């Protein structure tokens, strides 16, 4: 493609060298794929990957390209795949674990940095979360300051980094602890003491992930001064809506984990306020916003001397709101049309705003059935695993419940302004306008995508899934009738004894 036929964003990436951290994560994969597919004239993409679970960095890169979202690029643009160069690094280590030789190469060549690396586990250890989310952010910004041809640096955060505030504007807030102080603590204190003081450090922050992301933003504010730097804060990121594959995801965290668990008949109760707004956004829209932000930073760098980092809140509630009730109803409706043969019990989900009622229902519908099934497994000589499984599930549900029982007011004027700056061609290539978003169509592909990509269950098994669904429905309602009849008999007997 000749330069005159490129869009503005494509021209920005023409001949550019990009560094992506977190390329093996959900959003990192989407950004990498988007650049390879939509910006073919890009020069080089460095991806920082670490060894993990006995796999070499090369094996992990090969696994990355085995992902379904890269099928189109490998088939239609095979040459662009060779533009991806592996960087052996680790965000757990000081200076990202980069050798001096690699650091010098990046300093000389990189024009654009997408810092997506983060540990998103809600129950992560404080030390690990601090090293990955805070120290790595500091170290990559320190490295970027010396990049001789840096055009833009985009840090991916979360819209809930300052979840303690009811109103969240596109501005910086004070974290509960400075990065230097937090790093001092995790470097000096042993694991047992860190674990003891973690609840105190968290305060009103729901998780270690959110706490460390708030501190990381403060790092960007301090270390990003004088650089073309921005923070993109997406809300809850779900499956893609359009590209590269409608409904694609590999992320089980957040509402998607609840939806999948419910569809399988595993999760049966949830703490949520159904009338609250569900601030959820599709992964490909977030990707396009992040890529467009990099282009916009370069424009601003050329037009003026940028001194302070900018913030872009990427949310849905301001322009195209949907409530948790609407989300739940549409997910339920679509899930019943495509049941999986992997379903363990007839799917249903009870919701309550009361923490006490939630605990009671979770005990009745999660804990007791788990003990019964594990007892049967033990009697049959099999390993009991359901109780431990539900303990993890209940912790996960607790954390997600904290996010979906609260309501925030987001400002996203910078994001709206960015969309308006895009040319018509770029709006077509890098769509992220939530105003024209159709929730009905999206949730249909969202449910099917979760079935195919998370459960690894193709639609070919739909006949078996429907058959099992109706069998489980009969068993479920028969058991319900028996329980109600038994309860009725107990009440009658109790009433007679009183007389």
CB contact at 8 A, 358 and 405 = no
Rounded CA separation 24/28 (Å): 6
pLDDT at 3: 63
Section 9-13 average pLDDT:
94
Section 89-117 average pLDDT:
94
Section 298-304 average pLDDT:
77
Ranking 274-283, 397-406, 437-446, 485-494 by mean pLDDT, the lowest is 397-406
Which residues have a Cβ under 8 Å from the Cβ of 357 and sit 6 or more positions away?
none
Rounded CA separation 11/4 (Å): 9
Q: Which of 26, 465, 13 is nearest to 264 (CA)?
A: 465
Which phi and psi (to 5°) does residue 68 adopt?
-60, -30
Ranking 40-54, 372-386, 433-447 by mean pLDDT, the lowest is 372-386
Supply the DSSP string of 90-118, one letter for each residue: -TTSGGGG--HHHHHHHHHH--EEEE---
pLDDT at 155: 97
pLDDT band at 14 (very low <50, low <70, confident <90, very high): very high
Supply the DSSP string of 358-396, one letter for each residue: HHHHHIIIIIHHHHHHHHHHHHTT----HHHHHHHHHHH
pLDDT at 478: 92
Q: Where are the beta strands (DSSP E) in 246-354?
A: 269-271, 280-282, 310-314, 350-352
CATH class of the domain whose range is 3-250+278-321+408-452? alpha beta
pTM here? 0.92
Which residues have a Cβ under 8 Å from the Cβ of 330 and sit 6 or more positions away?
439, 440, 443
Question: In this prediction, what percent of the chain has a pLDDT beyond 90?
Answer: 66
Domain assignments of the chain as residue spans, ordered by start: 3-250+278-321+408-452, 324-404+455-498
Question: Residue 154 above 80 pLDDT?
Answer: yes
pLDDT at 107: 95
The CA radius of gyration of the chain, in Å to the nearest whole number, is 24
- Which helix (H) or strand (E) segment holds residue 232: the answer is strand 229-234
CB contact at 8 A, 30 and 68 = no
Rounded CA separation 384/390 (Å): 12
CB contact at 8 A, 104 and 11 = no
pLDDT in tens, 248-276: 999 888 889 889 989 999 889 888 889 99
Question: Residue 87 above 60 pLDDT?
Answer: yes
pLDDT in tens, 228-244: 999 999 999 999 999 99
pLDDT band at 469 (very low <50, low <70, confident <90, very high): very high
Residue 425 CB neighbour total at 10 angstroms: 14
pLDDT in tens, 197-210: 888 888 888 889 99
pLDDT at 383: 80
Rounded CA separation 440/330 (Å): 7
Question: Residue 499 above 70 pLDDT?
Answer: no
Rounded CA separation 260/266 (Å): 9
Question: Residue 454 above 80 pLDDT?
Answer: yes
CB contact at 8 A, 444 and 239 = no
């Amino acid at each position: 493609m000749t330069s005159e036929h490129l869009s503005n964003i494509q021209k920005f990436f023409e001949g550019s060298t990009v560094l992506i951290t977190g390329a093996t994560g959900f959003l990192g994969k989407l950004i990498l794929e988007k650049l390879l597919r939509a910006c073919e004239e890009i020069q080089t993409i460095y991806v920082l990957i670490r060894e993990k679970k006995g796999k070499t960095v090369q094996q992990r890169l090969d696994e990355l390209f085995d992902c379904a979202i890269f099928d189109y690029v490998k088939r239609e643009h095979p040459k662009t795949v060779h533009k991806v160069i592996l960087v052996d690094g680790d965000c757990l280590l000081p200076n990202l674990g980069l050798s001096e030789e690699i650091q010098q190469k990046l300093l000389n060549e990189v024009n654009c940095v997408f810092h997506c690396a983060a540990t998103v586990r809600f129950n992560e250890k404080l030390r690990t979360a601090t090293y990955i989310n805070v120290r790595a952010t500091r170290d990559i910004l320190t490295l970027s300051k010396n990049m001789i041809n840096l055009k833009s640096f985009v840090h991916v955060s979360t819209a809930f980094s300052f979840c303690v505030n009811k109103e969240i504007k596109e501005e910086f807030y004070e974290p509960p602890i400075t990065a230097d102080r937090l790093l001092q603590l995790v470097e000096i204190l042993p694991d047992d003491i860190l674990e003891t003081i973690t609840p105190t450090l968290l305060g009103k922050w729901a998780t270690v992930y959110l706490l460390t992301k708030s501190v990381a933003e403060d790092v960007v504010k301090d270390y990003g001064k004088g650089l073309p730097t921005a923070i993109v804060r997406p809300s809850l990121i779900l499956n893609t809506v359009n590209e590269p594959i409608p409904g694609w995801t590999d992320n089980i965290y957040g509402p998607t984990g609840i939806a999948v668990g419910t569809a399988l008949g595993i999760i049966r109760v949830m703490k949520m306020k159904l009338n609250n707004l569900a601030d959820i956004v599709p992964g490909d829209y977030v990707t396009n916003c992040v890529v467009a932000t990099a282009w916009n930073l370069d424009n601003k760098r050329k037009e003026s001397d940028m001194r302070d980092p900018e913030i872009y809140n990427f949310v849905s509630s301001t322009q195209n709101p949907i409530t948790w009730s609407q989300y739940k109803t549409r997910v339920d409706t679509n899930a019943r049309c495509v049941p999986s043969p992997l379903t363990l019990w007839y799917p249903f989900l009870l919701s309550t705003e009361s923490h006490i009622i939630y605990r009671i229902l979770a005990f009745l519908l999660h804990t007791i059935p788990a003990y019964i099934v594990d007892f049967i497994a033990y009697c049959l000589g099999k390993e009991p695993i359901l109780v431990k499984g539900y303990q993890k599930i209940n912790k996960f549900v607790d954390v997600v419940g904290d996010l979906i029982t609260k309501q925030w007011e987001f400002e996203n004027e910078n994001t709206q302004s960015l969309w308006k700056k895009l040319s018509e061609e770029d709006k077509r290539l890098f769509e992220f306008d939530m105003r024209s978003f159709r929730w009905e169509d999206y949730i249909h592909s969202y449910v099917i995508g979760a079935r195919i990509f998370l459960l690894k269950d193709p639609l070919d098994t739909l006949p078996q899934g429907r058959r099992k669904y109706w069998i489980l429905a009969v068993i479920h309602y028969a058991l319900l009738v028996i329980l109600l009849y038994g309860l009725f008999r107990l009440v009658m007997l109790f009433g007679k004894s009183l007389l």
